[in-house]
Chains A and B, each alone.
Chain A
Amino acid sequence: MADRTIEDRLREEYFDLLPDIRRVREQLEAEVRFHLLTISHSLRKHERLEVMSRIKECGSAVDALRRRQEGREFDSDRPEVYTLSALRDLAGVRILAFPGGRLTEIDQVLRLRFSSWHPDPVLDENRDVLAYKYYGYCAEASRKVQGEYQVVPMLTGLFWQVEHSAIYKPDPKLKDVAKLPEMQQRTKEVQSALQKFGEEFERLVLGEKDSSK
Chain B
Amino acid sequence: MKQDLLKDAGYHLNFDRMLYFNRQTKKAFSIEFVDEHEESELERRIQEDGDRNGWRFYFNSPPSAGVKRELERALG
Contact = CB atoms under 8 A, between A and B. Distances in A.
Task: Bin the interface of chain A by size.
Answer: 10 to 19
A71 B20 CA distance: 10
B3 A71 contact: no
A146 B1 CA distance: 38
B46 interface: no
Contacts of B57: 71
A177 B1 CA distance: 17
Given A70-B59, A75-B66, A78-B64, A173 B71 contact: no
Nearest to B28: A71
Where chain A touches its partner, the secondary structure class is helix
Task: Bin the interface of chain B by size.
Answer: 20 to 34
Contacts of B63: 70-71, 73, 75
A71 B65 contact: no
B71 A73 contact: yes
Contacts of A73: 17, 63, 67, 70-71, 74
Where chain B touches its partner, the secondary structure class is mixed
Nearest to A173: B16
A181 B1 contact: yes
A174 interface: yes
B15 A71 contact: no
Contact of B33 (A70, A179, A181): A70
Contacts of B59: 70-71
A176 B31 CA distance: 10
Given A70-B30, A181-B1, A76 B66 contact: yes
B66 A70 contact: no
Given A70-B33, A179-B31, A181-B1, A77 B18 contact: no
Contacts of B31: 176, 179-180
A74 to B, nearest CB: 8
Among A72, A77, A177, residue most surrounded by chain B Cβ atoms (within 10 Å): A72
Contacts of A72: 16-18
Nearest to A74: B67
Interface string A42-80: 000000000000000000000000000111111111100
